[in-house]
Structure 1
Amino acid sequence: MQLYNKLSAKEREALIDQAGEDRLTISFYEYHKLNNPEIFRNHLFVAWNELDVLGRIYVANEGINAQLSVPAPKFEAFKEHLDSISFLNGIRLNIAVEQYNKSFLKLKVKVRNKILADGLTDETFDASNKGKHLKAQEFNDIISQEDTILIDMRNHYETEIGHFEGAITPDVDTFRDSLPEIVKDYVEENKEDKNIVMYCTGGIRCEKASAYFKHLGAKKVFQLEGGIIEYVRQVKQDGIENKFIGKNFVFDDRMAERISDDIISNCHQCGEACDTHSNCANVHCNLLFIQCESCKEKMENCCTEDCMTVNRLPTEEQKELRKGKEVSNKIFKKGRSENIKFKKVEVQ
């Protein structure tokens, strides 16, 4: 019984091309107590591997968080399998706004302590006592009210390229970082009388955050049902006014979905209007930053001239340089990044 990947990403990419089938990028999550996450993990891998499902799935005692790429011809079979699992029967699937056949190139099902790293140690609150879910039109209506505080529960690099009009966008790197900051700056002083409305990409961060805010005494807590992905689907389907500007950052090879034509961010190298994220081509650096096409060409998809120099070395020399060193997972942050400063790199 195969329980792990045997193909490389490059080999899988070739098979996708050969198959010539459209694939659907979807996501879902569910908080549900699992007594043996490892057994559940193995069950999912075997079943989904047979259906050529790819993606990144986290399983824990508290439930499942999945982002997947499913062959379109096998989508119904995939749904039937989900429905055969009692707590996933009829679950809402968030289908991506923009489809890309290579959003994922491996099937990774991992057991973790939590399906969402929240940093919370207070286990006395009831995670099922969530905020009220709002559909797209309800969301538009409530965020227009003066007694509403709209909070983006995503990270700074996500909100930098797109967010709802008038939203508070905390300057944080992770969801774990955001909770104490939001509680201190916004929840504590407004928990008695304000509508505290929140949103994220697909809803999972708001599920945990809304329950936590209610546990802390917030009276009127609301969340966007299905996150930005479901909001956009409803907007298109029902002809509702779109209040989201820019792109929606996604955690797969697409990196973002364009929601509106607005470009609200800038290239981190030259300052030109741009909202396209890139990872530095120097594998050891791997910095996530925004780079326009002009800078991408001139800087060879690197964040600095030092990285360009390293990236030009033969592959074996690069491997030698990386030996014994941890590969970076840095994110560009104005004033914080050691690798790149806004407009620092001169592009002739």
Structure 2
Amino acid sequence: MQLYNTLSAKERAALLENAGEDRLTLSFYQYANIGNPELFRNHLFVAWDSLNVLGRIYVAHEGINAQLSVPAKQFAEFKDFLDGIYFLKDVRLNIAIEHDLKSFLKLKVKVRNKIVADGLNDATFDVRNKGVHVDAEAFNALIEDPDTVLVDMRNHYESEIGHFKGAVTPDVDTFRDSLDIIEEDLKDHKEDKKLVMYCTGGIRCEKASAYYKHKGFKNVFQLEGGIIEYARQVEHKGLENKFIGKNFVFDHRRGERISDDVISNCHQCGEPCDTHVNCANEACHLLFIQCESCASKMDTCCSIECQEIIKLPVEEQKKLRSGLHNSNKIFKKGRSEKLKFKR
């Protein structure tokens, strides 16, 4: 039985365009005890492939973390399938504000050690002892309290294009980097301040809130459903939107606009811009912010060197990147010295 993709991203994109069917972009996560992640992974792949579901899903002994694109006409069947799994029945689905036919181009279900790379030893603290979950209305009230410290649990390239007003935005490349930095910065306020956290969809705060309670923080809160659910509740309930800019998302859209504010700048010319791109040179693939003018001038490349490389024949490009290790650029997410106006 086929348990992997056979179509390339390009072939899948063409099929999606030709089909002309509406699709929903959504995400969900659930911590649960999964005895055989590999077997569960195969079960998911077979079921979702038959429904033409696309996305990136991580399965581990500790649970599941899923970001998906689902055909709108198959949504009821997809939901019935989830409800048939005891620990996923009525799981909260974070439905995207903006949908895109090509938010995902393949179905990738992978078994991992953890569903979020947090670097924590879960055996050393009670991961079930989480912070208080709050909805958008309670969150708005909390962050107006002068005794509240609001912390963005995302990475620098996420908060750069959008964040809540007054939030602490750690200048980190990974989630695990932020945990100790935040604890150190707030070590004198474990009892007298309310620690309020948020992230994209809530999953990073689930583990972080339990970790900080273990570390002695007395008043820990987390935004239920993250920025995605917050934006939905703000619109539905007519609440004040305290998020400025875009919410970075981990699919081909790279961002959802939550407010009209543009709070970042093009990394090449410095003009206001909040559009993330990946360098067109596949040996680089650096994620950075680039305006339309620079994209046209630089052929969507991060540097003149990369621009020269993409003009070479494809086979020559393959030879140049063969054996080279460029991941130090790929995973630095906008840290390249070639970017004059990086954060």
The normalised TM-score by structure 1 is: 0.96
| Structure 1: distance between partners of 2:67 and 2:245 | 22
Partner of 1:235: 234
- Which secondary structure state, in structure 2, belongs to the residue aligned with residue 166 of structure 1? coil
Deviation at 1:337, TM superposition (A): 2.4
| Structure 2: distance between partners of 1:217 and 1:304 | 46
1:289–1:331 contact (8 Å) kept in structure 2: no
In structure 1, stretches of 5+ residues that fail to align are: 344-348
Partner of 1:145: 145
2:269–2:340 contact (8 Å) kept in structure 1: no
Deviation at 1:327, TM superposition (A): 4.6
Partner of 1:262: 261
Deviation at 1:284, TM superposition (A): 0.6
Deviation at 1:12, TM superposition (A): 1.1
Deviation at 1:213, TM superposition (A): 0.4
**1:171 matches 2:152:** no
2:202–2:226 contact (8 Å) kept in structure 1: yes
Deviation at 1:14, TM superposition (A): 1.6
| Structure 1: distance between partners of 2:167 and 2:81 | 38
1:302-317 matches, within 5 Å, as 302-317=301-316
Deviation at 1:342, TM superposition (A): 2.3
Partner of 2:95: 95
| Structure 2: distance between partners of 1:122 and 1:258 | 35
The normalised TM-score by structure 2 is: 0.97
1:175-324 matches, within 5 Å, as 175-186=175-186, 188-324=187-323
Percent of residue pairs bearing the same amino acid type: 69
2:266–2:272 contact (8 Å) kept in structure 1: yes
Partner of 2:341: 342
- Which secondary structure state, in structure 1, belongs to the residue aligned with residue 18 of structure 2? helix
CA pair 39-332 structure 1, distance change in 2 beyond 3 A? closer
CA pair 60-122 structure 1, distance change in 2 beyond 3 A? closer
CA pair 122-41 structure 1, distance change in 2 beyond 3 A? closer
Deviation at 1:157, TM superposition (A): 0.3
1:303–1:339 contact (8 Å) kept in structure 2: yes
Deviation at 1:94, TM superposition (A): 0.1
- Letter of the structure 2 residue corresponding to residue 110 of structure 1: K
**1:331 matches 2:332:** yes
- What do the CA deviations read for 1:43-73 (whole angstroms, capped 9, x no partner)? 0000000000000000000000000000000
- Which secondary structure state, in structure 2, belongs to the residue aligned with residue 251 of structure 1? coil
- Letter of the structure 2 residue corresponding to residue 118 of structure 1: D
- Letter of the structure 2 residue corresponding to residue 97 of structure 1: I
- Letter of the structure 2 residue corresponding to residue 46 of structure 1: V
| Structure 2: distance between partners of 1:330 and 1:87 | 33
Deviation at 1:332, TM superposition (A): 4.3
| Structure 1: distance between partners of 2:217 and 2:261 | 34
2:268–2:294 contact (8 Å) kept in structure 1: yes
| Structure 1: distance between partners of 2:124 and 2:146 | 33
Deviation at 1:122, TM superposition (A): 5.2
| Structure 1: distance between partners of 2:14 and 2:310 | 25
Partner of 2:133: 133
| Structure 2: distance between partners of 1:190 and 1:31 | 29
Superposed CA RMSD:
1.1
- Which secondary structure state, in structure 2, belongs to the residue aligned with residue 87 of structure 1? coil
Count of matched residue pairs: 340
**1:159 matches 2:194:** no
- Letter of the structure 2 residue corresponding to residue 321 of structure 1: L
1:285–1:330 contact (8 Å) kept in structure 2: no
**1:12 matches 2:22:** no
